[in-house]
């Protein structure tokens, strides 16, 4: 049966685009997290169009074969890791920017388009696509939509969901949905679009998107504030957000991240600092100047030992390069990491950071903290060496402590990485059984056989339910 299915898949996408060799399949058993598949998938299929994806899903539905859709594999929650016996639907060949429309202020793109490439092409036309995850040079639009990605600019501009005007998506049985368009906010199916955003491939396979663009800011200014204590930096975040200023970015880096980035890039960051804040203002030149100075004044009032405004574009680029380099720089401390993205109310950021430092001490693991502090989205990264069994054994208890801390602070398990497999055990505690039941009912309506990304976000549907 498997050989017949593979032959049928080859007939749809071409023999070169159906991978079955173990060495090829192994590449799809992990992502950017520590999650790993228990076994190899049945095959990896690389389609080039929505029609090919629809044909693949028709076969999968008829044969009850699980399907895991995947972009660049840069996810941090195990959401795109292959399931045993599944077909992995790799969407990287759907990489065309089909239309950039300055007059209509939208872009029409395929799911495999790299986020940074869309941003660059939009900026060349004086436009901006605001969602900017740190993985923007590799992550795809489809993956961003699946996890509702954000980034530093989300504090002012919002997350991916705020920019999705239309979607083309394929259901589990191969039916193709064309939702929304250039004016989806006035469209009756706008709610259905938002239902698919953030669904992590469990409801449908997103193949194309119409995305809202905005005018590029006329001016921007980044200021760096240096604090002796991370708590003072967190207090400053709270003060800025309570002041009425809406920064374009407000990023926190603690002492560990400062030093690992400085080891990595040698940018001249202050090694003796307890924390840094990157404060970005953008918009009209006069407003930018006023907001940057107001944030600088608040930083000084909160105890900043030094506040510097970037002198030019080169220095500003270096500061943001430092922020985007945090994650790769952490490998200098430990070869492995579990990168989390809890979100808590802004007034509780300082208390949350203090508690994470205590969890780090209790479990004997480095846990640097950085993230989009302006909206309470923190990225505690648990660092470890997988070759050390005793150290590795402490990782998950530390992660559980952080998840429970977020919930106790009135926060969420994830701000932008998704739930995947790594946080699934906490979803009922986070949402409540009634919400989980309602969510599973939606899942069953979209995917009655339970073949789309099984085992992700929620527990698998019971076989008796899936076949009714």
DSSP string, 278-304: EEEEEESHHHHHHHHHHHHHHHHHTT-
Residue 414: inside a domain: no
Show which of 312, 328, 344 is a domain's final residue: 328
52 close to 77: Cβ distance less than 8 angstroms: no
pLDDT digits (tens, 9 = 90+) for 52-89: 999 999 999 999 999 999 999 999 999 999 988 999 99
CA 97 remoteness from chain centre: 21
Residues 186 and 238 in one domain: no
Distances (CA, A) of 116 to 129, 131, 133, 261, 453: 9, 10, 9, 22, 26
H or E stretch at 317? helix 313-324
Q: Measured between alpha carbons, how far is 92 from 109 in angstroms, rounded to an integer? A: 12
The residue to which tokens 């016996």 are assigned: 85
Res. 459: pLDDT tops 80: no
Res. 462: pLDDT tops 80: no
Q: What is the CA radius of gyration of the chain?
A: 22
> Going by C-beta distance under 8 Å and a sequence separation of 6 or more, which residues neighbour residue 389?
none
> Going by C-beta distance under 8 Å and a sequence separation of 6 or more, which residues neighbour residue 289?
221
Burial, 404: exposed, middle or buried (Cβ in 10 Å; 0-12, 13-18, 19+)?
middle
Residues 235 and 130 in one domain: no
Burial, 186: exposed, middle or buried (Cβ in 10 Å; 0-12, 13-18, 19+)?
exposed
Residues 341 and 449 in one domain: no
Q: What is the pLDDT of residue 188?
A: 85
Average pLDDT of 193-201? 96
Residue 426: inside a domain: no
Task: Please state, for a pLDDT cut of 70, what percent of the chain lies above it.
Answer: 97
Res. 466: pLDDT tops 90: no
CA 71 remoteness from chain centre: 12
Name the phi and psi angles at 28, rounded to 5.
-105, 10
Structure tokens at 307: 């506040």
Residue 256: inside a domain: yes
What CATH number did the domain enclosing 195 receive? 3.30.465.10
CB count in 10 Å sphere of residue 308: 14
Task: Indicate the number of domains in the chain.
Answer: 5
Residues 346 and 315 in one domain: no
Res. 465: pLDDT tops 70: no
Exposure string for 99-116, b = 16+ CB within 10 A, e = fewer: ebeeeebbbbbbbbbbbb
Q: Measured between alpha carbons, how far is 104 from 45 in angstroms, rounded to an integer? A: 35
Show which of 166, 192, 215 is a domain's final residue: 215
Residue 427: inside a domain: no
204 close to 169: Cβ distance less than 8 angstroms: yes
451 close to 63: Cβ distance less than 8 angstroms: no
pLDDT digits (tens, 9 = 90+) for 79-129: 999 988 999 999 999 999 999 999 999 999 999 999 999 999 999 999 999
Residue 418: inside a domain: no
Structure tokens at 116: 């940074």
pLDDT digits (tens, 9 = 90+) for 202-247: 999 999 999 999 999 999 999 999 999 999 999 999 999 999 999 9
Task: Work out the end-to-end distance of the chain between its first and last CA atoms, rounded to an integer number of angstroms.
Answer: 24
Q: What is the pLDDT of residue 1?
A: 64
Q: Measured between alpha carbons, how far is 203 from 198 in angstroms, rounded to an integer? A: 10
Distances (CA, A) of 142 to 73, 110, 133, 150, 186: 11, 8, 13, 13, 23
Residues 203 and 102 in one domain: yes
Q: What is the pLDDT of residue 460?
A: 54
Structure tokens at 459: 């527990």
Provide the residue range defining the domain that includes 209. Answer: 97-215
Q: Measured between alpha carbons, how far is 24 from 21 in angstroms, rounded to an integer? A: 5
What CATH number did the domain enclosing 400 receive? 3.30.70.2740
Residue 77: inside a domain: yes
Residues 138 and 159 in one domain: yes
Report the relative pairing of strands 97-101 and 249-254 from DSSP bridges: unpaired
Q: What is the pLDDT of residue 3?
A: 93
Residues 256 and 316 in one domain: yes
Res. 461: pLDDT tops 60: no
3-state secondary structure labels for all residues of 12-78: HHCHHHEECCHHHHHCCCECCCCCECCCCCCEEECCCCHHHHHHHHHHHHHHCCCEEEECCCCCCCC
Residue 419: inside a domain: no
Residues 227 and 128 in one domain: no
Res. 332: pLDDT tops 50: yes
Exposure string for 240-257, b = 16+ CB within 10 A, e = fewer: bbeeebebbbbbbbbbbb
The residue to which tokens 């030093």 are assigned: 259
CA 465 remoteness from chain centre: 31
Residues 307 and 393 in one domain: no
Show which of 187, 215, 243 is a domain's final residue: 215
Residues 247 and 310 in one domain: yes
What CATH number did the domain enclosing 315 receive? 3.30.70.2190
pLDDT digits (tens, 9 = 90+) for 419-436: 999 999 999 999 999 999
pTM to 2 decimal places: 0.93
Residue 200: inside a domain: yes
Residues 130 and 170 in one domain: yes
Residues 181 and 227 in one domain: no
Q: What is the pLDDT of residue 464?
A: 33
């Amino acid at each position: 049966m498997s050989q017949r299915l593979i032959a049928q898949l080859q007939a749809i996408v071409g023999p070169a685009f159906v991978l079955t060799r173990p060495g090829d399949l192994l590449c799809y058993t992990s992502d950017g997290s520590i999650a790993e598949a228990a076994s190899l998938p049945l095959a990896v299929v690389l389609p080039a169009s929505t029609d090919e994806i629809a044909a693949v899903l028709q076969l999968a539905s008829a044969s009850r074969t699980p399907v895991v859709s995947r972009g660049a594999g840069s996810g941090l929650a195990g959401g795109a890791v292959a399931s045993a016996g599944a077909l992995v639907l790799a969407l990287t060949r759907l990489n065309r920017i089909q239309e950039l429309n300055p007059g209509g202020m939208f872009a029409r793109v395929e799911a495999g388009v790299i986020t940074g490439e869309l941003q660059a092409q939009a900026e060349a036309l004086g436009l901006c696509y605001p969602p900017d995850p740190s993985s923007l040079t590799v992550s795809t639009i489809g993956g961003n939509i699946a996890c509702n990605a954000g980034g530093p600019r989300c504090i002012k501009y919002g997350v991916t969901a705020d920019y999705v005007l239309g979607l083309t998506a394929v259901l589990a049985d191969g039916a193709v949905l064309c939702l929304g368009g250039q004016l989806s906010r006035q469209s009756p199916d706008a709610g259905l679009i938002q239902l698919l955003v953030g669904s992590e491939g469990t409801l449908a396979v997103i193949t194309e998107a119409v995305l809202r663009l905005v005018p590029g800011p006329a001016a921007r200014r980044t200021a760096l504030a240096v604090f002796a204590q991370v708590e003072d930096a967190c207090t400053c975040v709270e003060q800025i957000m309570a002041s009425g200023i809406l920064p374009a970015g407000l990023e926190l880096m603690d002492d560990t991240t400062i030093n690992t980035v400085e080891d990595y890039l040698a940018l001249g960051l202050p090694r003796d600092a307890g924390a840094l804040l990157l404060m970005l203002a953008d918009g009209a030149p006069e407003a930018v100047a006023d907001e940057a100075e107001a944030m600088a004044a608040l930083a000084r009032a909160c105890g900043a030992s030094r506040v510097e405004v970037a002198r030019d574009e080169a220095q500003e680029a270096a500061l943001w390069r430092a922020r985007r380099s945090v994650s790769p720089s952490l490998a200098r401390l430990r070869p492995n990491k579990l990168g989390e993205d809890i979100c808590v109310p802004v007034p509780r950021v300082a208390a949350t950071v203090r508690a994470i430092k205590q969890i780090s001490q209790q479990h004997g693991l480095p846990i640097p903290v950085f993230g989009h502090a302006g909206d309470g989205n923190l990225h505690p990264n648990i660092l470890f060496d997988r070759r050390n069994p005793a150290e590795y054994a402490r990782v998950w208890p530390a992660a559980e402590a952080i998840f429970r801390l977020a919930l106790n602070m009135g926060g969420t398990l994830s701000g932008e990485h998704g739930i995947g497999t790594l946080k699934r055990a906490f979803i009922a505690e986070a949402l409540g059984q009634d919400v989980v039941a309602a969510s599973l009912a939606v899942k069953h309506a979209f995917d009655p056989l339970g073949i789309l990304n099984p085992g992700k976000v929620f527990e698998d549907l019971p076989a008796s339910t899936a076949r009714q």
